[in-house]
């Protein structure tokens, strides 16, 4: 299989380097050379103080901590430059509630989505996209090495929590192969 790969010579290396620098310039221009991103955590903590779960209960700290971890893991993707931090916070709080054991339901006042008190737009597609892409981060990581005494192979915590793929998360639609 590796016989089809040609060794990299200086000419092809320089061509690839020039192409990469050109693509980098286009990317920087699209970002208006603004590489600072606002952290979603501040919005997460603001929402966690207001949103209730399971018909009026205060949001549990482990749920907020899980959402905060998901925000940290989202920085392994390009989500932070594609979506505003408020939407990322909503999406990852939603995902944390779906992954929570026992299942946690974010209360929805007046038959509207729970996030409607923070923003006017319908962001269901963004919530789904962000959730799938963060779960992809977990799916792409190798499982932690564990020693099994019964001869069974180790399983990734992310994979077991999601039923093998992120399509197995209740309330999160399966994703197709392309984003």
Contact assessment for residue 90 and residue 115, using Cβ atoms and an 8 Å cutoff: yes
pLDDT digits (tens, 9 = 90+) for 35-76: 677 889 999 999 888 887 777 778 788 889 999 999 999 988
Burial string for 2-41 (b: 16+ CB within 10 Å, else e) reads: eeeeeeeeeeeeeeeeeeeeeeeeeeeeeeeeeeeeeebb
Angle at 129 between CA 178 and CA 122, to 5 degrees: 135
Q: Taking 60 as the threshold, does the pLDDT of residue 27 lie above it?
A: yes
pTM of the model: 0.62
Helix 61-74 / helix 41-50 crossing angle, nearest 10 deg: 160
Distance CA 164, CA 156 (A): 9
Q: What is the pLDDT of residues 128-179, one digit of tens each?
A: 999 999 999 888 877 766 665 555 544 444 444 444 444 445 455 554 444 4
């Amino acid at each position: 299989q590796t016989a089809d790969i040609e060794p990299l010579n200086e000419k092809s290396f320089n061509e690839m380097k020039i192409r990469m620098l050109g693509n980098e310039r286009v990317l920087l221009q699209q970002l208006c050379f603004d590489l600072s991103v606002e952290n979603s955590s501040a919005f997460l903590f603001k929402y966690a103080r207001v949103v209730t779960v399971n018909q009026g209960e205060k949001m549990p700290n482990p749920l907020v901590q899980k959402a905060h971890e998901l925000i940290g893991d989202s920085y392994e993707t390009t989500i932070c430059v594609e979506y505003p931090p408020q939407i990322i916070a909503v999406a990852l709080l939603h995902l944390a509630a779906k992954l929570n054991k026992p299942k946690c339901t974010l209360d929805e006042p007046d038959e509207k989505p729970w996030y409607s008190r923070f923003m006017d737009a319908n962001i269901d597609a963004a919530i789904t996209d962000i959730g799938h892409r963060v779960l992809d981060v977990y799916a792409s990581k190798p499982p932690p090495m564990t020693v099994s005494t019964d001869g069974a192979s180790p399983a990734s915590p992310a994979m077991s929590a999601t039923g093998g793929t992120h399509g197995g998360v209740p309330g999160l639609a399966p994703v197709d192969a392309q984003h």
